[in-house]
């Protein structure tokens, strides 16, 4: 009888190890799926950021050349949840800015240590060099898009979030 109990206990240990290995494999597969999803959605958002930057670049060039600013603002349609940043003067800048003042659309990094925000702008963001841009607070791109004001005052480009008057 004593011999039979030992075998049952040994089988229980084998099954437990199999279950633990199966759980580890399932967690690893879920992790891989999440990485693939984030990679695909990140590249889509990067394309959206570049398209939005093209619209913004055209408007800034128009205003910089002397055109009147749009009364209703300029729409930045996507990617939602990303931010519009300014990098100016002596602060560190993304490599896309080539060391000069610029405007960038990139994902917000909440814990910005070791230049992670700059790295995020370089990897997936879109930047436009504007030598005469003034510093502004980052602007969040909302789910349905965000309108911004672009104005040229005393030779400098000012960017701000458009506040609709309803």
Per-residue pLDDT of the chain (166 residues; tens, 9 = 90+): 455 555 555 667 778 888 999 999 999 999 888 877 766 666 777 888 888 888 888 888 888 888 888 888 888 887 888 889 998 888 888 888 888 999 998 888 877 777 788 888 888 888 889 889 999 998 988 888 888 999 999 999 999 888 765 5
Residue 144 lies in a domain: yes
Residue 8 lies in a domain: no
Say if 86 falls within a structural domain.
yes
User: How many structural domains compose the chain?
Assistant: 1
Q: Do residues 129 and 97 touch, judged by C-beta distance below 8 A?
A: yes
Range of the domain at 79: 48-161
Cis bond upstream, residue 65 (ω within 30): no
User: Quick check: is 21 in a domain?
Assistant: no
Confirm whether 37 is domain-assigned: no
Q: Contact, 158 vs 111, CB < 8 A?
A: no
**Domain presence at residue 33:** no
């Amino acid at each position: 009888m004593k011999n039979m109990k030992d075998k049952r206990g040994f089988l229980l240990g084998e099954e437990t190890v199999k279950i633990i290995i199966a759980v580890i494999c399932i967690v690893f597969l879920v992790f891989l799926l999440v990485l693939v999803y984030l990679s695909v959605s990140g590249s889509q958002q990067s394309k959206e950021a570049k398209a939005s930057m093209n619209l913004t670049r055209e408007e800034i060039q128009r205003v910089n050349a002397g055109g009147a600013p749009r009364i209703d603002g300029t729409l930045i349609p996507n990617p939602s949840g990303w931010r519009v940043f300014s990098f100016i003067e002596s602060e560190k800048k993304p490599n896309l800015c080539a060391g000069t003042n610029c405007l960038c659309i990139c994902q917000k990094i909440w814990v910005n240590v070791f230049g992670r925000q700059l790295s995020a702008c370089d990897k997936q963001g879109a930047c436009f060099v504007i030598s005469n841009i003034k510093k502004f607070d980052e602007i969040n791109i909302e789910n349905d898009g965000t309108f911004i004001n672009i104005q040229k005052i005393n030779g400098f480009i000012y960017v701000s979030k458009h506040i609709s008057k309803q």
